C-alpha cells in the first residue's frame, strides 16, 4: 500500500509541475489555449489528487505535521505556492506575472527539497 500511495503522490507532483510550466509558457505567449476549459480544470484535479494522496500517505505512516517539522514546512510551502501561482495567472501586468510565476517555481523547488532532505530548511540547510 505504501509504495502505491508514494508513487501516486509523486506522479501527481510531477504532473502538477508540468501543467504549471505549460500554463506559464502559454501565459507568456498570450495563447488563447490558456482559456480552454481543460487547462482551467486540470490543475485543480491534479493538485487535489496530489494533496489527497499526500494526506493519505501521511496518515498511513502515522505522521502529524505538528510532530514532523519538515511536513509542516511542506504544507506551508504548498499554501505559498498556491497563492503565488494564482497570483501569476490573475495579475494583469506581464512583469508581475513573470515574477510571481518564477517565485512559485522557487517555492515548488523548496517543497521538493524539503521532501527529499526531510528537513524544514530544504535546500537552505
Residue-wise pLDDT for 74-94, tens only, equals 999 999 999 999 999 999 999
| Cα 25–chain centre separation | 17
Q: How far apart are CA 66 and CA 46, in angstroms?
A: 26
Residue in the structure block whose three cell numbers are 506581464 = 94
Q: Are residues 82 and 59 in contact, defined by beta-carbon separation less than 8 angstroms? A: no
Kindly report the average pLDDT of the chain as a whole number.
Answer: 95
Q: How far apart are CA 2 and CA 95, in angstroms?
A: 43
Q: How far apart are CA 98 and CA 88, in angstroms?
A: 7
pLDDT of residue 74: 96
Q: How far apart are CA 94 and CA 42, in angstroms?
A: 23
Q: How far apart are CA 24 and CA 72, in angstroms?
A: 27
Q: Count Cβ atoms below 10 Å from residue 53 Cβ, excluding itself.
A: 20
pLDDT < 50 stretches in the chain: none
Spans of all domains in the chain: 1-62, 65-125
Q: How far apart are CA 56 and CA 112, in angstroms?
A: 18
pLDDT of residue 124: 87
Amino acid at each position: 500500500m505504501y509504495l502505491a500511495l508514494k508513487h501516486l503522490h509523486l506522479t501527481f507532483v510531477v504532473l502538477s509541475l508540468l501543467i504549471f510550466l505549460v500554463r506559464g509558457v502559454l501565459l507568456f505567449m498570450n495563447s488563447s489555449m490558456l482559456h480552454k476549459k481543460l487547462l482551467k480544470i486540470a490543475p485543480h484535479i491534479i493538485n487535489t489528487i496530489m494533496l489527497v494522496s499526500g494526506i493519505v500517505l501521511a496518515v498511513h505512516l502515522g505522521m502529524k505535521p505538528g510532530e514532523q517539522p519538515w511536513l509542516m514546512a511542506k504544507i506551508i510551502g504548498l499554501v505559498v505556492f498556491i497563492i503565488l501561482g494564482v497570483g501569476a495567472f490573475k495579475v494583469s501586468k506581464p512583469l508581475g506575472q513573470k515574477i510571481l510565476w518564477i517565485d512559485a517555481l522557487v517555492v515548488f523547488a523548496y517543497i521538493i527539497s524539503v521532501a527529499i532532505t526531510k528537513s524544514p530548511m530544504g535546500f537552505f540547510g
